[in-house]
Every structure is written in C-alpha cells, then in structure tokens.
C-alpha cells in the first residue's frame, strides 16, 4: 500500500524529527537507498512491501537492543508493536521522515536513529502506564479490551466499515489483540495493520449520513 499517514488520536506520538548531522554516521546513500525512498514517498506499487521486507528485521533488532540497554525485557508482542510504531512514524504526515532523508548517511543508519527514538518513546509510555510499586500485576496479560459502553459504541460504528476493516477493529479494540497477533491471524503484513486501523477509525469518526 502507498505510504498513507495515520489519522488516529495517537498521531502526534509518531512525529519524529530528522536526525541531526551528528546523530548519524558518515557515509553516502546508495542509488538503491534513494530510489526506494523515492518510490515509497510516491506510493509506487510494491515499494512499501519492499521497504518493510528490507528493514523490518533491522527495526526488530534496534527495538530489542534499545530495550536491553535500558534494562527492559520485551516479549514478541511488544517487539511487534514497537516495529508497527516505527513503521507508522515513517509514513506519518505524508511520509515526512522519508521525505527528510537527505542522504548524509546510508538508509539503514538513518532508519536506525529513527527506530531508536520511537523505541525510547514506546518504553517511556509503558513505564508511565505501569502500576505503582506493590500493586498487583498480571505478567504477560493482554491489554484490556474495550469496556461495555465502548464495545456497544464500536459495534454501532462497525457498519461504516468494509469487511476487512471490521475484522481489524474487532481483533484490536474488542479482543485486545496485538499487531503481531493480528498479522499472524489475518496474514496481513505487520506494517500495513497500523495504517489500516487508522483509516478505519477515521471512517468511524465521520458524521453519520443524514
């Protein structure tokens, strides 16, 4: 799919500044780097899938390493969610991060800086949301599903969505499935789930016809 910016309520979390000159290692972008970025920005067929295929493993590695350096342990679902956030950051605001790529370093080096920043923000959010010391914790529990009132509202709004969008919303918001679980259940690429959910939520916020 084309690099479509997310429109959900968390869009500000995906704003990532272009790395400063001192944040990246010296080096020149390859012709392939520049072509892939240009194709993603232009929404060329297959470009985003190629991007995710090339750099998904790098993003997983950076997420794990950044967490380890901060003394944190990530589960597979956590890593999947961080990678989804990194990919959302890449396409946010009409792919501003990719458009800002100036070729002062190789594309993997540039994206490593972006991935570290997004991972750090994710870890900070999780730390703030953690229960106070001494409070009961359920290790490995899935995020809470929608409450009764929220569930009823979501069910009413699902009629505005197509079949695939309804499935994604049910899995993520009603069953509290992680992006990784949704990818395994539906066969959708991990990098496509966040933007698809964002488009679905945008439709659900539109005023009803009539």
CA 137 to chain centre: 26
pLDDT at 178 (0 to 100): 84
Whole-angstrom distance, CA of residue 5 vs CA of residue 36:
18
Q: Is the pLDDT of residue 85 over 80?
A: yes
The answer on pLDDT for 81 being more than 50 is yes
Same domain flag for 121 and 173: no
Give CA angle at 84 (105, 40), nearest 5°.
Answer: 50
153 in the same domain as 94: no
Q: Which residues of 2-20 are buried (b: 16+ CB within 10 A; e: fewer)?
A: ebbbbebeeeebbebebbe
Mean predicted confidence (pLDDT) in 157-179: 82
Domain boundary (75, 96, 129) is at 129
Query: What was the pLDDT predicted at 132?
Result: 54
Q: Please state the pTM of the whole predicted model.
A: 0.59
Q: What is the mean pLDDT of residues 165-181?
A: 83
CATH number at residue 89: 1.10.1740.10
- Please tell me whether residues 20 and 73 are part of one structural domain: yes
> pLDDT tens across 117-138, in order?
999 998 998 887 665 555 554 4
Q: Are residues 21 and 89 in the same domain?
A: yes
Give me the domain span that covers residue 120: 11-129
Same domain, 103 and 168: no
User: Is 28 within the bounds of a domain?
Assistant: yes
176 and 145 in contact (C-beta within 8 Å)?
A: yes
Q: How many structural domains is the chain composed of?
A: 2
Most confident by average pLDDT, 37-41, 86-90, 100-104, 174-178: 37-41
188-202 CB burial, b ≥16 within 10 A, e <16: bbbbbbbbbbbbbbe
Do residue 84 and residue 43 come from a single domain?
Answer: yes
Model confidence pLDDT, tens digit, residues 2-30? 444 444 444 444 444 544 444 444 456 78
Contact in structure between 97 and 18 (CB atoms under 8 Å): yes
Neighbours of 115 (CB within 10 A): 28
For residues 198 and 7, is the Cβ–Cβ distance under 8 A? yes
Task: Tabulate helix, strand, coil % of the chain (nearest 5).
Answer: 65, 0, 35
In 3D, which of 79, 106, 83 has the Cα closest to residue 19? 106
> Is residue 134 in a domain?
no
* Token duo for residue 87: 């990919």
């Amino acid at each position: 799919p084309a690099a479509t910016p997310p429109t959900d309520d968390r869009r500000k979390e995906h704003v990532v500044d272009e790395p400063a000159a001192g944040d990246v290692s010296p080096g020149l972008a390859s012709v392939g780097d520049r072509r892939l970025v240009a194709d993603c920005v232009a929404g060329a067929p297959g470009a985003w899938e190629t991007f995710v295929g090339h750099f998904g493993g790098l993003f997983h590695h950076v997420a794990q390493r950044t967490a380890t350096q901060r003394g944190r342990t990530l589960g597979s679902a956590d890593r999947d969610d961080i990678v989804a956030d990194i990919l959302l950051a890449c396409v946010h605001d009409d792919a501003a991060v990719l458009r800002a790529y100036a070729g002062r370093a190789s594309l993997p080096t540039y994206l490593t800086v972006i991935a570290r920043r997004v991972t750090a923000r994710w870890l900070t959010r999780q730390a703030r949301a953690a229960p106070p010391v001494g409070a009961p914790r359920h290790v490995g529990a899935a995020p809470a599903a929608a409450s009764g009132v929220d569930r009823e509202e979501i069910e009413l709004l699902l009629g505005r969505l197509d079949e695939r969008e309804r499935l994604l919303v049910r899995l993520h918001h009603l069953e509290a499935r992680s992006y990784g679980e949704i990818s395994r259940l539906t066969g959708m690429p991990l990098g496509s789930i966040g933007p698809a959910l964002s488009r679905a939520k945008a439709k659900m916020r539109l005023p009803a016809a009539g």
